[in-house]
Structure 1
């Protein structure tokens, strides 16, 4: 891996692209320490929030080590890195997911299983392995966890065609999570990402995501559009102090619409990335995925330098993500 180049050499857009990937990775690693813990348990241990990436947690992660969130986002990222004209992005991503599942992955003993894999993800990958067709996989309607939202970010960063962005977001989600709440959430999230990396203010970027959700759900009363509206109403700082309110299900424990709403609330929070991500983790339960999804938006909004240097320096795939991001923003002429 080539040494880091100084962040001052990046264009604002490059910084936001790199920031998005590292924000996802950092949020995942920060939250992994406290995964599954309640708001009250976290408040008793860390009254002001956990501000360092220290590893541990229920799966004894090394500090800065990717969980399944970052690993699977990496699978999508590598698909965009390796794609040639005419390639099926969903198939490339799906094949990378199978490599991850079967142990062909950095930091793992060859052939070993992932430390953790969600039920819908395992079901969908089993069907994909059998069919070889990303459009004939998925866990089916009713499986509406956040396992595809956590990994969808690279499509928003590296697919400049907005119609293809929607198609690829939906199809890559559908490999494991084909419930429309998941597929539309991924498309709407990536619409926000695509606006943010172009320098669009957060409120306008969220409006673009809402407009796409309304289009895909045939109106403003669909569940994804409603989740984004909830994200506009709630405040991350208040939830960090008092826990998630009833309109967020009172849990934030893995439902895709809660994670999307929380990410919207995070990117609309006027504070810096570090303070917002610390507070997202303070809310509790699915702390790694909630912080990964929010971190992707915050990094796309604020850029690489908003991520504390101490966080960046400990990330397992930090240098790789940065190198790929810069290569893709150059080769695809998206600067």
Structure 2
């Protein structure tokens, strides 16, 4: 089949013009999908490259060709061998960006069409931004072919009954060494391409609550950062002014949101891979965070590889049976976004992510209950209807281990009936949970502007004192999930920012919103 350029597209869509025959790819084992803009092919280094020494020739060729974004579809081998996800990082540093979407060899994205849409969205966003993109797996046939095939279908370059032949023709035209190999590799991948259709995302109101859960948590974190380890009291004016024990800038989030972003970065790819989340946690810790909880530090500092984390967390619990810090609950805001329509999956994921650092049954239970309450708020809350906060939390009791249900039923009652001030100190996961819930329930909902409840309840959470950023981050996730991102005051929205890890590129509130949207395929 001959590949021809399309003359009917408008000039602004130049990255949809397919590469004509006779144009070699930027490396011997790659091909241009769109000449000079979008390429695809094999891994850009060999197995012998460890990140030191001269940059591998294929990688240098891609960089010289103007590639600025690398879409890495490979997956690290278990046990820490063959680090496909990070092997060529040092060669790209300062010259481009690597975006990782791990897919099992010869398979499709674990998240199906939703995860594939996230990958395609990232490719299109880079192209729209004027960046040139290289998509690769290991050999350049299976996973790469599946992504490129779906990209071609998305943009109408081939009909369903022509796309496989068209994809093969593109590869044969430009891939000088591997073009003879069939792409994709498996019948499942081929059927997925042929049957490709865009997944439907949440409606506008639901999406506002999705974003609200993430931004609400970040807003609470940044609001409380300036008051951490103090006791403001019920009458003190609370403002997003920064400062505090670690000298935060106004609107800057702390380790609470940094760790939440480590989770969100994975979920935004359409995946919920625990090893990928654990890897992000380790990278965050190894960068030397300004602030980190004692339990989190002990576990992350004792793990050599991501696969060690859960085992180390259990060992910490065995050695410190009474230790159940709030460090897992503070970061749980994004978890519900991984499976909005499946509460059982959310519960399992919330417990598993918590257990990477905090294996105590109370830590796990708190994360399950709060994540499910967030899910219920996102999927059922209506602006003009009363939302039952207590019921939203209690509805998760059936998803925690049976021998903890009666205990947590009583703890919820304490939070609902007791004044917020009684839950100080709150470095313990139970009192942090109770403080956040108490601040929400005991703050009146204004009759004239009900969504102002988000602001008022976050101020109340900070006024409780002690671990103010964490309590407000926990509360903010549920408040945002109920009231939506539109309820966050403008003066806070303009200030919200932070880092993924120390000395990394700053992340804005807008970028955080984009991650939340990607997490639900929007």
TM bracket (short chain): 0.7 to 0.9
Q: Structure 2 matches for 1:209-288, cutoff 5 A?
A: 209-218=393-402, 222-235=406-419, 239=420, 244-245=421-422, 248=423, 251-268=424-441, 269-271=443-445, 272-288=453-469
Alignment partner of 1:170 out of 351, 357, 364: 351
Q: Distance in 1 between matches of 2:493 and 2:269?
A: 25
1:64 matched to 2:251? The reply is: yes
- Give the drift of 1:253: 2.7
| Counterpart position of 1:108 | none
SS in structure 1 of the partner of residue 425 of structure 2: coil
Give TM-score scaled by structure 1 length.
Answer: 0.81
Is residue 323 of structure 2 the alignment partner of residue 143 of structure 1? yes
Q: After the TM superposition, which residues 193-208 of structure 1 pair with which residues of structure 2 at under 5 Å, given as runs?
A: 193-200=374-381, 204=388, 206-208=390-392
Contact 2:373 2:396 in 1 (8 A): no
Deviation of 1:204 (Å): 4.2
Distance 1:37 1:285 in 2: 5
Corresponding residue to 2:295 among 120, 129, 151: 120
Give the distance between the partners of 1:48 and 1:304, measured in 2 at CA: 26
Residue ranges of structure 1 left out of the alignment (5+ in a row):
3-9, 104-112
**Structure (1 or 2) with the larger CA radius of gyration:** 2
**Residues 225 and 217 of structure 1: CA distance in aligned 2, closer, same or farther (over 3 Å):** farther
The structure-2 alpha-carbon separation of the partners of 1:276 and 1:204, relative to structure 1 and needing over 3 Å to count, comes to: closer
The 8 Å contact of residues 347 and 399 in structure 2, kept in 1 or not, is answered as: no
Q: Is the 8 A contact 2:397 2:405 kept in 1?
A: no
More displaced stretch, 203-212 vs 70-79:
203-212
- Deviations for 1:75-108, whole angstroms, at most 9, x for unmatched residues? 1101101344xxx5222211111111122xxxxx
Q: How do 1:64-143 and structure 2 match up within 5 A?
A: 64-84=251-271, 89-103=273-287, 113-130=288-305, 132-138=307-313, 139-140=316-317, 141-143=321-323
Aligned position for 1:192? 373
> Shift in Å at residue 214 of structure 1?
4.8
With over 3 angstroms needed to count, the CA separation of the structure-2 counterparts of 1:287 and 1:231, relative to structure 1, is same
Query: How much has 1:62 moved relative to structure 2?
Result: 1.1
* Equivalent in 304, 307, 311 of residue 492 of structure 2: 311
TM-score by length of 2: 0.53
Q: Select which of 9, 16, 20 maps to 2:209.
A: 16
Cross-structure match for 2:237: 49
Change in CA separation of 1:131 and 1:158 when aligned onto 2, cut-off 3 Å: closer
1:157 aligns with 2:337: yes
Range with greater deviation from structure 2 (173-182 or 312-321): 312-321
Q: Which moved more, 1:194-203 or 1:137-146?
A: 194-203
- Separation (CA, whole Å) in 1 of partners of 2:405 and 2:331: 26
Larger % of helix: which? 1
Cα distance in 2 between the residues matched to 1:147 and 1:220: 20
**Contact 2:324–2:363, Cα closer than 8 Å, also in 1:** yes
Distance in 1, matches of 2:360 and 2:404, equals: 19
- How many residue pairs were aligned? 295
Q: Is the 8 A contact 1:149 1:185 kept in 2?
A: yes
Determine the C-alpha separation between the residues in 1 that align with 2:249 and 2:514: 23
Give the alignment partner of residue 514 of structure 2, picking from 310, 323, 332: 323
Which of 477, 480, 483 aligns to 1:299? It is 480
Offset, 1:132? 2.0
Q: As a proportion of its length, which structure holds more strand?
A: 2
Change (3 A) 1:191 1:19: same
CA distance in 2, matches of 1:287, 1:256: 13
Residues 194 and 18 of structure 1: CA distance in aligned 2, closer, same or farther (over 3 Å): same
Q: Contact 2:213–2:479 (CA<8 Å) still a contact in 1?
A: yes
Distance 1:159 1:267 in 2: 25
Say which structure, 1 or 2, has more relative contact order (CA 8 Å, 6+ apart): 1
CA distance in 2, matches of 1:229, 1:203: 17
